[in-house]
Amino acid sequence: MTRAADWVARVGDVWADEWRRTERAFAGIAATLNAAIDRAAPSHGYAADVGCGAGSTALSLSVVRPGLRITGLDLSSSLIDVARRRAVAGRCDFQIGDAVAALPLLAPLDLLVSRHGVMFFADPVAAFGAMRDAVRVDAPLIFSCFRARAENDWATTIDQAIDAQPSMPAPLPALPAYAPGPFALADPAFITALLDRAGWRDVTLAAHDVDYVIGAGDDPVGDALSFCRRIGPAAAPLAAADPAVRADLENRLAAMLAPRIRDGAVTFTAAIWIVSARAGKEAS
């Protein structure tokens, strides 16, 4: 299960290699999140994209809010390299670093956004508190994250196809309801309490189910298989298997993927939260 340290190294490098396909997978998430950001974003000021990856959310925001200056922050130097290559000269810049350490240097901010970049913090209370401290009072925070694994068939169906037991990260001793990883912020009551404790107010969560495309083109199943070898719940079991076992696992995946083709694409559903909040007067 992915943790912050993995993003600095191998996982960040894989996502940088695969940014076009992760972008395709996240297109439904992007459309929903970007619409929420568009409703809340100020026309001027300074914004940060936390865990910006290859920069898509920051870059989209720069198009709809030409008056905003935007910084994208990410742990992975490989992903920041991709984001910098994609950035047109102007209002977006991209920085390598831990958002929690870097945000104080950007303060005061007028907006914080994140597409699935806030589920990997080693200490989420400190992280959301640092985010609160980096913005002006009333500034919006808008982010997306996955709902429960059981609601995300791109994870459960792949697990079932290869009989994989999902590797569960260890919960934090000081915060047993939290274990960093893709499903760390699945529980709406936990998110609300966490943000409240960190000094955010007017917290709202909206549930959305959006398409999650993992294969397309001339050979959608082959494309999806190649994606599964690198990203998602099958990547580690496939990498660890010996060649004969791997061939069997891939056959089972292919048999599961073929019936998922819709309009020429292997399509699952991503069950997500769009979370919105505003900075309260003081972080606690």
Ligand X SMILES: C[S@@+](CC[C@H](N)C(=O)[O-])C[C@H]1O[C@@H](n2cnc3c(N)ncnc32)[C@H](O)[C@@H]1O
Q: Does 56 bind ligand X (CB under 6 A)?
A: yes
Sole binder of ligand X in the list 51, 181, 199, 233 (CB under 6 A): 51
Q: Does 274 bind ligand X (CB under 6 A)?
A: no
Pattern 57-96, ligand X, x by CB under 6 A: x---------------xxxx--x-----------------
Q: How many residues does the chain have?
A: 284
Q: Does 7 bind ligand X (CB under 6 A)?
A: yes
Q: Does 223 bind ligand X (CB under 6 A)?
A: no
Q: Does 53 bind ligand X (CB under 6 A)?
A: yes
Q: Does 181 bind ligand X (CB under 6 A)?
A: no
Cβ closer to ligand X: 254 or 283? 283
Residues that bind ligand X (rule: CB under 6 A) add up to a total of 24
Q: Does 208 bind ligand X (CB under 6 A)?
A: no
Sequence-distant (≥ 6) Cβ neighbours of residue 40 within 8 angstroms: 111, 140, 142, 276
Instruction: Work out how close the CB of 217 gets to ligand X at its nearest, in angstroms, rounded to a whole number.
Output: 21
Instruction: Work out how close the CB of 50 gets to ligand X at its nearest, in angstroms, rounded to a whole number.
Output: 6
Instruction: Dig out the tokens for 133 from the structure.
Output: 């401290």
Q: Does 179 bind ligand X (CB under 6 A)?
A: no
Of residues 37, 98, 97, the one with CA closest to residue 68: 37
Q: Does 113 bind ligand X (CB under 6 A)?
A: no
Q: Does 26 bind ligand X (CB under 6 A)?
A: yes
- Site of tokens 């589920």: 119
Secondary structure of the chain in the HEC alphabet? CCCHHHHHCHHHHHHHHCHHHHHHHCHHHHHHHHHHHHHHCCCCEEEEEECCCCCHHHHHHHHHCCCEEEEEEECCHHHHHHHHHHCCCCCEEEEECCHHHHHHHHCCECEEEEECCCCCCCCHHHHHHHHHHCECCCCEEEEEEECCHHHCHHHHHHHHHCCCCCCCCCCECCECCCCCCCCCCCCHHHHHHHHHHCCEEEEEEEEEEEEEEEECCCCHHHHHHHHHHHCCCCHHHHHHCCHHHHHHHHHHHHHHHHHHEECCEEEEEEEEEEEEEEECCCCC
Cβ closer to ligand X: 53 or 232? 53
Instruction: Work out how close the CB of 248 gets to ligand X at its nearest, in angstroms, rounded to a whole number.
Output: 29
Q: Does 267 bind ligand X (CB under 6 A)?
A: no
Sole binder of ligand X in the list 94, 121, 154, 200 (CB under 6 A): 121
Sole binder of ligand X in the list 13, 81, 98, 153 (CB under 6 A): 98
Q: Does 120 bind ligand X (CB under 6 A)?
A: yes
Q: Does 115 bind ligand X (CB under 6 A)?
A: yes
Binding site for ligand X (CB under 6 A): 4, 7, 12, 22, 26, 51-54, 56-57, 73-76, 79, 98-100, 115-117, 120-121
